[in-house]
Structure 1
């Protein structure tokens, strides 16, 4: 076993010694800059294009036809549900009748959330100065939230972790009309004329069992799943070789592609984490191309010594 020694006889002040000791495993600013560029790239594979087309549709129609519009996008953790919502919001073009930045809003649910919680989240999303919703002010704050979305021209509301709608508090029932988050979401759709996009895991696939009225309004069902080790997987990894900031063409190698599937199980979040880490390693290794050795070290760092999965890129 080896030990590292921070020499106390050095002339550094005590705080500087502590800082230097903590920075022993930190990446350089240049590596961070390049890795950030890679991490914020979006690769729109077919399932994401289908989701975007559905989002575009409900976004366009939400205020035009007087018919509730909604999408349920389900998939396991790491399947790009939140990423595609983020991409949609970032890529919205400016429109005359919509306040810039408010055409699409994003909120995040929590288990057994009440209607007051949802109203508070919406008020925060529209940047209202007061977001605390007390029971006695529930109705008035709900009205403010609806009016704010109408005023700002909001057309679509993304609700992440929407499977929390299936988790009910001890004192709430399926038909609770006053305090349920589902009832509040229905009211927002009807009164503020916003489309609703629910981002959830498998627990909300049968939305009609949770909230029949909400399921009737949210008619589109889409599913995202991890990649399989097939042609789509190869095409997805191949897109990384088009990045200009660093050479990732090693992902086109059959052995590296297969090892990357073993390392990530086709989970897109895991893929992005691993590739970004490999870029950090390569840049600080003064290389312009990411190699299998860089992926090997990236897997070690992102998995940790407690991971029982053998390193698919081989031993160092």
Structure 2
């Protein structure tokens, strides 16, 4: 089957009170680990590519790897651009086979965010591609996205109706307290569910997206620190909070840092135990299996989308 858009995915997710996992991909092993996990639990997927991943692995390689994953699994998979920062980048991905793009103009004034988002929406919709945009700003670091904590801004519910109506966007990423990277909270984790509830009230049935939603699983942090890493104080979003968000209007939850931590922890452990090994298959294989284990857990216990692929096929 070909790549799909997120339209039917989000409709089913909203009605069913679950979320679709949007996993960032950078190479073959990450794609294989994610898609093999999804196949085993029959879950739909969004595989997303950041501008940094596109520079690293190249557009054509990533598209072909995702197409190979569809052929191997038969799953409904959308290919999404994460944090596109310009019309030109979004257009390039649309023309190059992506079925979904995000235009992130959240750092710009409201009117400019609307102008650029609508430009992307008009072009994407003419090609059958869906668009995600963002209101509010998350703190943290993810590839080229760097926002200091004092620059983070919660999404203003008073703006969402006008933004969606004037842009025609298909989904909206909001800021309710999550953060990019592995250092999300200095104190106790807290998400502003009151903001999410108000946005859901103002945009009934409209799919909401949560960025910066890795849980920074402690066992991976401990493993990295044990084998030479330095990650003191890394703390992510509790999984029960993510499950609550998925039961509301949040139809897409982005996961990147947890994948990186799982891969890095496994590789660090491998080399500590096998210092003379130099065959990439020997350390990338276990890393792929750990990603598979992590993703299965997310799909079943956090996102609630296991078994839902059949609803979309």
- The alignment's TM-score, normalised by the length of structure 1, stands at 0.32
Greater strand share, structure number:
2
Larger Rg: 1
